[in-house]
């Protein structure tokens, strides 16, 4: 029999069970006082039903771009951190300085965003 795949089955069961548990437990604990506002599906503060050609805040874009800076950073740093110990044994500090350079470049980008005032939600225009 394919007992090798038992772990996958257990994982699937745990995943489904976890979702059911997370939905069921609050159902038992929370008070239930629905109103129309609460029943609207959550869509980052926008009205979820209607035409998609509405004007919405352009700041969503800049926030998404700022997010990319951190996102890319973590995508590359996580696997690097996992194997760093073995890399250190074979290649010494080279991997450390490589990642240092990478993060430094991203940090300059972050600092630029900060200086441009893109990290503040309300005041976005820099005084010329």
Partner 1 sequence: MLPIVLPVDTGDLTALGPLLAVLIAALGVLTVDMTFEREEARGRWSFIVGLVGAGLAAGCASLWQWEAPGRAILGGALYADAFSSFFDVLLATLLGLTLVVSWYCLDRVKVKPAEFTGLAVLSFSGMFLMVRAADMLTLFLAIELMSLPVYVLAGLSAGSKTGREAALKYFVLGSLASAILLYGMALVYGVTASLGYTDIAGYLATASRESGVENPLFLAGLALMLVGLGFKVAAAPFHMWTPDVYEGAPTPVTTLMASGVRAAAAAALLRFLAGAVLLTRGHWMMLVWALAALSMIAGNVGALAQTNVKRLLAYSGIAHAGYMLLGLFALPRGAGGFSMYVAVYALSVLGAFGALQWFDDRGRETVDIEDLAGAGKRHPWMASVMTVFLLSLAGIPPTAGFAAKWFVFAAAVQAGYVGLALLGVMTSLFGAYYYLRVVIAMWMDEPADISGADQSPTTGLVLGLLALAVLFIGCFPGWLWFLADLASSKLV
Q: How far is the CB of 111 from partner 1 (least distance, A)?
A: 6
Q: Which is nearer to partner 1, 83 or 111 (CB)?
A: 111
Given 3-state DSSP classes, what are the helix, strand and coil percentages for the chain, each rounded to the nearest 5? 65, 0, 35
Task: Give me the least distance between CB of 69 and partner 1, in Å please.
Answer: 13
Residues in contact with partner 1 by the rule CB under 8 A: 92-94, 96-98, 101, 105, 108-109, 111-112, 114-116, 128
Smaller CB distance to partner 1: residue 21 or 97? Answer: 97
Least gap, CB of 106 to partner 1 (angstroms): 11
Nearest to 44 by CA among 30, 64, 24, 23: 64
- Which of 99, 102, 76 has the alpha carbon at shortest distance from 91? 99
In the complex with partner 1, the residue whose CB is nearer, 22 or 115, is 115
Please, which contacts does 60-65 make with residues 24 or more away whose CB atoms are closer than 8 Å? Answer: 62/118, 62/124
């Amino acid at each position: 029999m394919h007992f090798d795949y038992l772990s996958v089955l257990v994982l699937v069961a745990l995943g489904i069970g976890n979702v059911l548990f997370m939905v069921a437990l609050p159902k038992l604990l929370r008070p239930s006082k629905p109103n129309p506002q609460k029943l609207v599906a959550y869509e980052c503060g926008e009205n979820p039903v209607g035409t998609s050609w509405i004007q919405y805040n352009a700041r969503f874009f800049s926030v998404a771009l700022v997010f990319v800076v951190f996102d890319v950073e973590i995508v590359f740093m996580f696997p690097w951190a996992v194997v760093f110990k073995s890399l250190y044994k074979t290649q010494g500090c080279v991997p450390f300085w490589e990642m240092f350079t990478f993060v430094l470049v991203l940090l300059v980008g972050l600092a630029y965003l900060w200086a441009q005032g893109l990290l503040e939600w309300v005041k976005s225009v820099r005084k010329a």
